[in-house]
Structure 1
Amino acid sequence: MKKLPYILIAIRFIIAPVILLLAYLKGGESRFIILILMYLGLLTDIFDGIAARKTGVSSEKLRRLDSQTDLIFWLSLGFASYLLTPELIKNEWESILLIFIMEALCYIISIWKFGKETCTHAFLAKMWGLSLLTAFTYLIGFQQAGWAFYLAVGVGLVSHIDVILIILLLPKWQYDVPSCYHAWEIRKGKQRKKTVFFN
């Protein structure tokens, strides 16, 4: 059971290039399979953290591995969306560029302050993951952007601001910080009680 979190992360890591290959080689024929893989990947993301905390193997190494795998997974879906719906993606390039800039800022500020990448697994970041799921469902499954896309951009922007505030408020690098409020509490010396189902 202690290997389960690593297995779930590995599955998500493997899914990423499979999604890209399907989009590149099969095009529109692969839409349904890509959506299934996306939802499977999300399930592995939900349960790897729960399994790690339940079995007592949650660690900095595991959580950092989880974060980087998440990035690869969602990027694969972004590139797959471009391969399948290039015009939609081109029409929304400003919003997409904004999200890329915010993501880069999170990494740059964290590496500048702590010497390592951010790994907060914040609550708003989890909400952003769900909004991305909805947006990619519409983009890949229905070839539409609309409200789902703009919701994901909005939640993504707020989520990244939250992460940047967490980084700036934390006195030292720490993983699994739910929000900038919790970072402020940690800065004041208060300890946070962790839970199995969140972080």
Structure 2
Amino acid sequence: MIKLTYLPAILVGFRFAIAPFLLLDALDGAVTNWFLCGYILAIVSDIFDGIIARKLKVSTPQLRQADSWADICLFLCLALSTWLVYPTVILDFKIPLLIAVAAQFLLFSISLIKFRKLPSFHTYTAKAWGLALLVAAIALFGFGYAPTLWGAIVLCWINSLEEIAMTFILPAWTCDVLSIVHALKLRHE
């Protein structure tokens, strides 16, 4: 019998495990119905791993970092799948997407230089970005509709800027800082 306290880690592991299968499904330039089902299940696991961990009081920095790595793995596989299935969409959005990728790399670089760790803030803007990406993925892979990608891109920019500012504000690496307001409060404490 699996202990309930392991459930958040299992959900994080599930996201790591499902991400490559999304990519495998897209290798032939098309996706099956499984693709969206798998992606939606991965996002549901992302939503509930943190909630359950906090409720069970097993939310640790290591678990939150693993959660961040699982997100990176999932979103990289989604991006590569998009390239395989809808390369024209990637090319049509290349400039805003390159700005989003550059903003994320800048955030990661600043955090690595300052804290020697990748950020793991799990901010409200990150949650909004994740939900916008879910809507964009459903619209694109389910209906061939790309304009909703703008919402995800803009929220990525906003999230990156907020987390860059938070990295400069916080004196020490901290996980689960929900917003820049929370970062300012932590700095003053």
Decide which of 4, 14, 21 is 2:24's aligned counterpart.
21
Q: Equivalent residue for 2:161?
A: 161
Q: Equivalent residue for 1:141?
A: 142
C-alpha contact 2:107 2:164 (8 A) present in aligned 1:
yes
Give, in whole Å, the separation in 2 of the partners of 1:82 and 1:142: 16
* Structure 2 portions without partners, runs of 5+: none
Q: For 1:8-87, list aligned pairs within 5 A.
A: 8-25=11-28, 27-30=29-32, 32-87=33-88
RMSD: 1.0
Give, in whole Å, the separation in 2 of the partners of 1:158 and 1:81: 22
> SS at the partner of 1:2?
helix
What TM-score, normalized by structure 2, do the two folds share? 0.95
Runs of 4+ with >6 A deviation: none
Give, in whole Å, the separation in 1 of the partners of 2:65 and 2:125: 18
Give, in whole Å, the separation in 1 of the partners of 2:167 and 2:186: 12
C-alpha contact 2:31 2:85 (8 A) present in aligned 1:
no
> SS at the partner of 2:178?
coil
Q: Deviations over 1:14-72 (max 9, x none)?
A: 110000001104x3252x21111111001100111111111111101100000010011
C-alpha contact 1:88 1:144 (8 A) present in aligned 2:
no
Give, in whole Å, the separation in 2 of the partners of 1:6 and 1:103: 25
C-alpha contact 2:26 2:85 (8 A) present in aligned 1:
yes
- Give the AA of the match of 1:3: Y
> SS at the partner of 2:122?
coil
Q: Deviations over 1:77-106 (max 9, x none)?
A: 111111111111111111111111011111
* Structure 1 portions without partners, runs of 5+: 190-199
Give, in whole Å, the separation in 2 of the partners of 1:80 and 1:14: 15
- Give the AA of the match of 1:87: T
Q: What percentage of residue pairs aligned between the two structures are identical? A: 36
For these two proteins, the number of residue pairs brought into alignment is 186
